[in-house]
Structure formats: C-alpha cells, structure tokens
C-alpha cells in the first residue's frame, strides 16, 4: 500500500441479509485529490460512504483512513473527516449560528476557534446575513451551503460528499462546485459521489465506477474516455456500466 494514500479500502463488503450491497471492493484515494465514486442508482455508493464514515459496520473487509482502521478506530477517524450526507441533516428549529456552534462543540473545537471559524466560513460562503436565521427558512441551496460548512467546521483532512448537488438549481450547483475546488486548494481530500457525470468530469482527479456493489474500474476521467473511445465521461460511464443497451432500448420505446 502506497504511503501517499489517505483512504485504503480492502475487500470492503456489506450484506443486507443475503443481498450484497457492496461486494469485496478495493481502491485507494490519494491525499489532496478529488476522488469521484460513480455508479447507477443502487450501485452501493451511499452504503460505501456509510461504512467509511462509521454509520454502519462492514460485513467483511475493512478500510483505513489516514492509517486508522474503520472497524477499530472509528471515533478517532471521525475527528479528522467531514461528511455531507445526501440530506441536509441540521436542526430546523435552530438558527444557522446555533447549528454550527453545536456541531463545533460535538467535534471539540474550542470556543475561540469555533467562533472565529464560523465567522470566516459564513463570510466565505456569503451567509453572514443569515447567521441568525432559522435553518428551516433557508433556501435549499443555502441549506446545502450551511451543511457543508458544518462538515468542515473542524478543519477535516478528508471530506465525504454524498450527492451534494442533488436538487440544487444551476447557480447553487455552480457555487457548490467552486466550493469543492476551493477545499481542494486547501489540501483537503474529497470523496465525492454524484449522479451528475459532467460534474465528476469537471471536478475529479480520478473516479471509481461501481456497478451492482462491485468496482468496475478506477482511473482518471481522461484515461477512461480514451480507453473506452468515448467523447466524454458520460459516454465512457455508459459504456463501462453496460447501460448502453438499456438506454438504446428506452430510446427505441420512446420513438414508438
């Protein structure tokens, strides 16, 4: 295993009863890169993130994040990772400020650092005027931004983003992508799952393609496009996942 890898996944497996949601997957994520984790619905992307972030236990195999094992050192791992889940999971009844303060407290950020960091992040993401607003009344894009701020309030070295742009309008999605790029410039490693292949092509240094709980390939978007003789990553994705025939069938049905 290379020493530049920040995440190392070995034979990671999750069964729900007899169903293999994730089946013996292996890959590595290098420090400071944006790693895309792509796959059709139900491929096992969210299950993988849930295992890597300690929300569920693997059935078999394991993974290390910064050399720490997710099976035995998950509390230590959680101190150095940030997670943006598919849903904005902050408290509707609390203000933006109270939500961020609470999350900072959970991560053990000292009062002085907490207030300073909240101020900086709200300013950077243009949310200063919303600090006293209840989370409930924010727009979807703003909620997403606050959720991302909550995930990085403790200055994590790795950030997991699970479908971060789902449901966002064009402008909010652009802002989000800019935020992700900015995180990378700060040296943060980003593990990103997304349905938007174009987004992955724009952002990711490397991508893994997951189908039915198994990894099909891991490579740079450029190499995937080249090796599959495709015009872009979306075409390469369709080729690799075997969705081409399904899409042709759907298009044929549509023409009738």
Chain residues binding another protein by CB under 8 A are: 53-57, 75-76, 78-79, 83, 85, 87, 89-94, 102-103, 105-108, 150
Establish how many alpha carbons lie within 13 A of residue 156's alpha carbon, considering only the half-sphere containing its beta carbon: 28
How far apart are CB 107 and another protein at their closest, in Å?
6
How far apart are CB 79 and another protein at their closest, in Å?
4
| CB closer to another protein out of 165 and 241 | 165
| CB closer to another protein out of 50 and 206 | 50
How far apart are CB 85 and another protein at their closest, in Å?
6
| CB closer to another protein out of 68 and 177 | 68
How far apart are CB 150 and another protein at their closest, in Å?
8
| CB closer to another protein out of 88 and 241 | 88
How far apart are CB 232 and another protein at their closest, in Å?
34
Provide the pairing of β-strand 189-193 with 34-38: parallel
| CB closer to another protein out of 53 and 194 | 53
């Amino acid at each position: 295993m290379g020493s530049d890898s920040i995440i190392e996944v070995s034979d990671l497996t999750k069964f729900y009863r007899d169903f293999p949601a994730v089946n013996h997957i292996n890959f590595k994520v290098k420090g400071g890169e944006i790693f895309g984790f792509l796959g059709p619905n139900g491929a096992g992307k969210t299950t993988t993130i849930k295992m890597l972030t300690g929300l569920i236990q693997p059935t078999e195999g394991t993974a290390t994040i910064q050399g720490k094992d997710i099976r035995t050192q998950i509390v230590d791992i959680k101190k150095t990772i940030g997670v943006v889940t598919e849903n904005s999971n902050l408290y509707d009844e609390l203000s933006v400020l109270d939500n961020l303060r609470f999350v900072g407290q959970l991560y053990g950020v000292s009062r002085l650092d907490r207030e300073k960091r909240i101020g900086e992040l709200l300013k950077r993401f243009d949310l200063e005027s919303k600090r006293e607003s209840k989370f409930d009344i924010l727009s979807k894009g703003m909620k997403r931004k606050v959720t991302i701020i909550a995930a990085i309030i403790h200055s994590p070295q790795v950030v997991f983003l699970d479908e971060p742009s789902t449901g966002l309008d064009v402008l909010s999605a652009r802002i989000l992508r800019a935020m992700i790029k900015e995180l990378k410039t700060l040296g943060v490693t980003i593990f990103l799952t997304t349905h938007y292949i174009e987004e992955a092509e724009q952002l990711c240094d490397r991508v893994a393609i997951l189908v039915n709980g198994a990894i099909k390939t891991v490579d740079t978007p450029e190499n995937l496009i080249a090796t599959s003789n495709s015009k872009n990553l979306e075409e390469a994705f369709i080729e690799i996942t075997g969705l081409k025939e399904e899409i042709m069938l759907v298009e044929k049905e549509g023409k009738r």
